[in-house]
Amino acid sequence: MEVVVALSILAVTFVVLLGLRNHDILQHQEARTMTRATLLAQKKISEVEMAGFPSLGVIAGDFPEPDDRFNWTQTVSTTPFDFAREVNIAVTWREGERQESVVLVTFVVDEKS
């Protein structure tokens, strides 16, 4: 009887550990995707900063392979100062049925002012 109880406890423990392992794998994949999206958003911000003082408005696009599952949206808006613009870069992707996103914000200053 003791052996049966011990085997039952061991079986339940293995099932729980396997479930935790699977959960850990999913969390690791989500963290990698979030990191990649953040790096892509930082790249877009660098492109905006290198291009100079941005025009107001919204533009969007897709990233080329191997990042073609990600989309980006750039929103440039005014600030209380004429010489500065607020730039929002949103990188979005589908995670199963959910749509996930990372949004980075920066301010670009007109060097001529």
Specify the number of domains making up the chain: 1
pLDDT 10s digits, 54-98: 999 999 999 999 999 999 999 999 999 999 999 999 999 998 889
Render pLDDT for 8-56 as a digit per residue (tens, 0 to 9): 888 888 777 777 777 778 888 899 999 999 999 999 999 999 998 999 9
* CATH classification at residue 43: 3.30.1300.30
Residue 85 domain boundaries:
2-109
Please give the Cα distance from 56 to 67 (Å, whole number): 27
- Given a cut of 70, whether residue 113 has pLDDT beyond it is no
> Which uninterrupted H or E stretch holds 107?
strand 98-109
- What is the C-alpha separation between 35 and 30, in angstroms, rounded? 9
Token pair for 16: 């729980």
**pTM (predicted TM-score):** 0.77
